[in-house]
Amino acid sequence: MIRRMDHFTIVTDRLDQTVAFYEMLGLNTGPRPDFGVGGAWLYVEDHPVLHIVATVTMPEPRRGALDHMAFFAVDFQAAASRILAAGLTYRVIRTPRPFSLWQMFLYDPNGVEVELDFAAEETPPADWKAHAGLELR
């Protein structure tokens, strides 16, 4: 049966901004089959984890109810710096013990909430408490 998550798909009317957002987070644009519609596949190493489909207008009614997508990430301080340099905001949560993972939440250009999880051993940004539990919307 299920072995791992394969990919997420986002439909967007903001293709360039969406690709740039996920590239900022460390995904890499790679090969994508010609589906006859615009879009992009973004990779972690050799696996396309995020499929983006371009559309002129967003579908009505919207399909599905994706609450958020989560990625395991490294270098918490560098991620925070890149996100702030892009003019974005984020919030930070530390999961309860014994897990103690660092979780960073932010929104992509389409309003999809993205969670970045960092190992408990990572050093947080010096101002992480200023971002603790902030409501982003």
Is 96 a residue whose pLDDT tops 90?
no
pLDDT tens string 56-72: 887 777 666 576 888 99
Task: For residue range 35-93, list pLDDT tens digits in order.
Answer: 889 999 999 999 999 999 898 887 777 666 576 888 999 999 999 999 999 999 999 98
Domain ranges of the chain: 8-131
Q: DSSP H helical segments within the chain, as ranges?
A: 15-24, 76-85
pTM of the model: 0.78
Tell me how far apart the alpha carbons of residues 50 and 41 are, in angstroms, rounded to a whole number: 6
User: Which run of H or E residues covers position 115?
Assistant: strand 113-118
Cα–Cα separations (whole angstroms), residue 10 to 14, 30, 103: 11, 16, 22
**What residues are paired with 133 via a beta bridge?**
none
pLDDT digits (tens, 9 = 90+) for 101-117: 899 999 999 888 899 98
CATH architecture of the domain 8-131 equals Roll (3.10)
DSSP-derived secondary structure letter, 49: E
Nearest to 21 by CA among 59, 71, 77: 71
